[in-house]
Chains A and B, each alone.
Chain A
């Protein structure tokens, strides 16, 4: 067997196992190491919503996919070329997504009659021909791990828990990654349990050496690092973490202390968890009794002069609706983060969808406009969170920032911002009683922010309509019209402070693909592939969704067709169509709890353009 180093520029690996097999950890470690090696990468974890789904069943399969490359990439990859399957359920639910000729590493230690039965299989897919056309490597990873750890004092159960590190070692060898970063991580992670650090380190090394010694795989791969990466500092980051850091940063850039009122809900909970660690960064977090209390404490905190924030997912946003209307009418700054998940009601809590756009834009009683924006990728979540804080404080308004499950739990290398270049937008509280009126506005139509405790500025705000000049309660019909108009004009005015989206591609052509949120990656990748095939296609990503940036009509005009791919039934297309009736917005929609794949979008674009489908 050869042991040559085969160069590959682009690899997608999928780790699949039972929820208890530690696949998410294996995936994140592979990701961290790969980031350090200098590859660009994107990841996609996919796991069941039950913490302990029945062991060995199809429902219990937990998956972590990583796409890494020596080029810039935008998605976690369409079809993996490597599958690690720790049991039959993991194999059977994933092998169909693979590219032809892919490598499958199957842990035969978990392919007993019993295991097959749990996976609802009548015969063993490793031997019944199911996997013809793949390069299947069968290893009893359970037994190997037990052997490798024979000299440790751990019990059998704990020993078997190390099998994911054994597997990780094999993968490190196969893709020529160093094992040192993971060894260091183990030492830190298990500083208080050195026996566990030692056992996992042994398993990792044993897996690595075994792969090398036995030449399990035909050859070994090298994925060179990305060349010409812009200089600077990088780190690997998950979406929720970047968002949490962005919220803390946004408050500081506004010169304020942050206050997060929240209630745990998948997939937004991590943000509350991350921010709860930021006690020494002027961040107060309160885990409240429900989502309503979460947003209400944030509103109270904003009234008192902090920057109020609340984080949730769709069902929680629904509960917060009435309170957000209160923030609209009292014109207090408030940042609301909705990490979207799939389905109405509880739906598919751990799956991706972007169907809360209309809820964000219009889901309140009466005329209650507010700015809405969305993040594109895990690293972009940082910038978007800062941007949400900027708009909230500069315009004295609640802002909804949309993320989703795919961004929240996905990871990518983040080019860290130059600290000196982070733009500050300091808040100036009203302090002068001379001529003070709570609803006096600046040139952006933002009212002044006078916080309780300021001498001479005692005033009342509330949910009843206020006189546009004095701020006293007013039931006057004309005044109500004036106030509704003012609040709308203020929100529309945000457009003056945001850029027209950049285009990836030519300014005119056959097809414009308009994407928002996490469909950024697949849309951009699909368009770039079309461009390589010589198609005049352009991709445009929309960060700001309400108000729309200026200049969109001039962009739309120059394309023959405009298509809006969305993981919903056409929500952005619906709004674009009503705002720009002179153009036609075609929809492409999917709601399967899964992200778009670049190849799927490309195939669709080719189809509508009447091109020969290449893919």
Chain B
């Protein structure tokens, strides 16, 4: 249809009542996705939202697009089926830190290594929300939760490192309280040709309230975080007076003028890994934005290219040829 009107963010809202707790970070994520789809002029009949199970995974019900709320941990696999079956469908995966990194960790790494063109949003609230507050694979060691009353002894994953290690071609981090930043990141993810992994720090007001406040609150944000912007120096601070400088395997804080320029498109995943290492150092700001954005062939592209190639070589197969092979014989 050529005369499609450009849709507005609200056109992507379904008529279902949203049932997240008041104040939950999920609200800001869904409205960012709706705005981004509208801004990019997407056709809602061509968008598929696939989720697993968790608070976050209710997402598809609230979107007026095609949607599939599936089973715990399997969204990436189902979405892979959707995308390979019909590469024209813009396919998003909505998952949580439990859904996507614990029960679904295997499908997550494999969909990333295969570079299926999926837009994967990992709602990281460092807790199992829907089951009411157990520790997850991203809960910091020592944290008390319902199943770790004396503190969690499990070492957590760094989701970005997991994605980078799996060979993801697009890796980014954003947070619920910065909708503008989130939209920019989601837009870049949507426009990336290949698997895009976006970790969103999402506050669970009920079971893990304030888990990110050391970095998300306005008064500390400027000093505690740094925005990675392609082609721009890595600067931070309330006056943008500080910068990060990369030297070999070390990153140090320097005056803004000496900051290194950030480039997520370099071939090596090394710089992205290096930046993700800063999470471990309490004296360093945590980087947000696009860590990595490189091009590589997509799974669905390769699958269908191969089909075209073989078909060009062998001709369109007719059912009869499959059945009546050269080793058949006739009884008269």
Counting chain A residues whose Cβ lies within 8 A of the other chain, the interface size class is 35 or more
B192 CB within 8 Å of chain A: no
For A455, list chain B residues within 8 Å (CB).
Answer: 1, 45
CB of B111, distance to nearest CB on chain A (Å): 9
**CB–CB B88/A453 < 8 A:** yes
**CB–CB B327/A235 < 8 A:** yes
**CB–CB A259/B84 < 8 A:** yes
A231 CB within 8 Å of chain B: yes
CB of A451, distance to nearest CB on chain B (Å): 8
Contact of B50 among A36, A235, A300, A419 (CB under 8 A): A300
Q: In the bound complex, how far is the Cα of B230 from the Cα of A176, in angstroms?
A: 78
**CB–CB B66/A460 < 8 A:** yes
> How many A-B Cβ pairs are below 8 Å?
196
Closest B residue to A329 by CB, please name it.
Answer: B71
**CB–CB B315/A460 < 8 A:** no
CB contacts under 8 Å to A, within B107-144, are 107, 110
Q: In the bound complex, how far is the Cα of B331 from the Cα of A232, in angstroms?
A: 5
**CB–CB A279/B106 < 8 A:** no
B8 CB within 8 Å of chain A: no
Q: In the bound complex, how far is the Cα of B78 from the Cα of A455, in angstroms?
A: 22
Question: What 1/0 mask marks residues of chain B from 145 to 174 whose CB sits below 8 Å from any chain A CB?
Answer: 000000000000000000000000000000
Q: In the bound complex, how far is the Cα of B331 from the Cα of A410, in angstroms?
A: 22
Of B57-65, B205-213, B251-259, the stretch lying at the interface with chain A is B57-65
A55 CB within 8 Å of chain B: no
Q: In the bound complex, how far is the Cα of B330 from the Cα of A231, in angstroms?
A: 7
**CB–CB A301/B81 < 8 A:** yes
A127 CB within 8 Å of chain B: no
CB of B99, distance to nearest CB on chain A (Å): 13
A183 CB within 8 Å of chain B: no
Q: Would A304 and B306 be within 8 Å (CB), given that A245-B322, A296-B78 are in contact?
A: no
B316 CB within 8 Å of chain A: yes
**CB–CB B86/A231 < 8 A:** no
CB of A166, distance to nearest CB on chain B (Å): 24
Q: Would A280 and B314 be within 8 Å (CB), given that A233-B324, A304-B89, A462-B70 are in contact?
A: yes
For B238, list chain A residues within 8 Å (CB).
Answer: none
CB of B69, distance to nearest CB on chain A (Å): 3
B228 CB within 8 Å of chain A: no
Q: In the bound complex, how far is the Cα of B1 from the Cα of A453, in angstroms?
A: 12
**CB–CB B44/A462 < 8 A:** no
A6 CB within 8 Å of chain B: no
CB of A495, distance to nearest CB on chain B (Å): 29
For B44, list chain A residues within 8 Å (CB).
Answer: 458
**CB–CB B107/A326 < 8 A:** no
Question: What 1/0 mask marks residues of chain B from 171 to 206 whose CB sits below 8 Å from any chain A CB?
Answer: 000000000000000000000000000000000000
**CB–CB B319/A233 < 8 A:** no
**CB–CB B66/A36 < 8 A:** no
For B46, list chain A residues within 8 Å (CB).
Answer: 452-453
Question: What 1/0 mask marks residues of chain B from 36 to 55 whose CB sits below 8 Å from any chain A CB?
Answer: 00000000111010100100
Closest B residue to A32 by CB, please name it.
Answer: B327
For A284, list chain B residues within 8 Å (CB).
Answer: 84-85, 303, 307
**CB–CB A281/B317 < 8 A:** yes
Of A198-206, A285-293, A349-357, A550-558, the stretch lying at the interface with chain B is A285-293
CB of B8, distance to nearest CB on chain A (Å): 15
Q: Would A289 and B107 be within 8 Å (CB), given that A296-B77, A301-B85, A303-B81 are in contact?
A: yes
Closest B residue to A417 by CB, please name it.
Answer: B323
Closest A residue to B52 by CB, please name it.
Answer: A463
Q: In the bound complex, how far is the Cα of B322 from the Cα of A252, in angstroms?
A: 12
CB contacts under 8 Å to A, within B71-88, are 71, 74, 77-86, 88
B332 CB within 8 Å of chain A: yes
**CB–CB B319/A248 < 8 A:** yes
**CB–CB B69/A463 < 8 A:** yes
**CB–CB B329/A234 < 8 A:** yes
Closest A residue to B61 by CB, please name it.
Answer: A460
Q: In the bound complex, how far is the Cα of B111 from the Cα of A367, in angstroms?
A: 32
For A229, list chain B residues within 8 Å (CB).
Answer: 331
Q: Would A249 and B53 be within 8 Å (CB), given that A304-B85, A308-B81, A463-B71 are in contact?
A: no
Q: In the bound complex, how far is the Cα of B332 from the Cα of A232, in angstroms?
A: 7
Q: In the bound complex, how far is the Cα of B20 from the Cα of A107, in angstroms?
A: 76
Closest A residue to B330 by CB, please name it.
Answer: A233
A347 CB within 8 Å of chain B: no
**CB–CB B315/A280 < 8 A:** yes
For A232, list chain B residues within 8 Å (CB).
Answer: 330-331
**CB–CB A419/B77 < 8 A:** no
For B74, list chain A residues within 8 Å (CB).
Answer: 292-293, 296, 323
For B283, list chain A residues within 8 Å (CB).
Answer: none
Q: In the bound complex, how far is the Cα of B88 from the Cα of A206, in angstroms?
A: 60
A317 CB within 8 Å of chain B: no
For A289, list chain B residues within 8 Å (CB).
Answer: 106-107, 110
Q: In the bound complex, how far is the Cα of B77 from the Cα of A36, in angstroms?
A: 45
B16 CB within 8 Å of chain A: yes
Contact of B323 among A259, A416, A458, A472 (CB under 8 A): A416
CB of B278, distance to nearest CB on chain A (Å): 31
CB contacts under 8 Å to B, within A311-332, are 322-323, 325-326, 330
For B86, list chain A residues within 8 Å (CB).
Answer: 304-306, 451-453
For B322, list chain A residues within 8 Å (CB).
Answer: 245, 248-249, 278, 281
Question: What 1/0 mask marks residues of chain B from 292 to 332 whose CB sits below 8 Å from any chain A CB?
Answer: 00000000000100110011001111011011110111111
**CB–CB B319/A281 < 8 A:** yes
**CB–CB B69/A462 < 8 A:** yes
Q: Would A472 and B82 be within 8 Å (CB), given that A289-B107, A458-B45 are in contact?
A: no
B237 CB within 8 Å of chain A: no
A505 CB within 8 Å of chain B: no
A482 CB within 8 Å of chain B: no
**CB–CB B81/A300 < 8 A:** yes
A456 CB within 8 Å of chain B: yes
**CB–CB A290/B78 < 8 A:** no
For A36, list chain B residues within 8 Å (CB).
Answer: 329
Q: List 21 A-B contacts (CB under 8 A).
A: A32-B327, A36-B329, A233-B324, A233-B330, A259-B84, A284-B85, A293-B106, A301-B85, A303-B81, A304-B48, A325-B71, A326-B70, A453-B45, A455-B1, A455-B45, A458-B64, A459-B67, A460-B68, A460-B69, A462-B60, A462-B61
Which 8 pairs, one residue from A and one from B, show the smallest C-beta to C-beta distance? A300-B81, A462-B69, A297-B81, A296-B77, A460-B67, A301-B85, A235-B328, A452-B66
Residues of A participating in the B interface, judged by any CB pair closer than 8 Å: 32, 35-36, 38, 229-236, 245, 248-249, 252, 257, 259, 261, 278-282, 284, 286, 288-290, 292-293, 296-306, 308, 322-323, 325-326, 330, 416-417, 419, 422, 451-464, 472-473
Given contacts A233-B330, A452-B46, A457-B45, 9 further A-B contacts (CB under 8 A): A231-B332, A284-B307, A290-B106, A296-B78, A322-B71, A416-B328, A458-B64, A460-B14, A463-B70
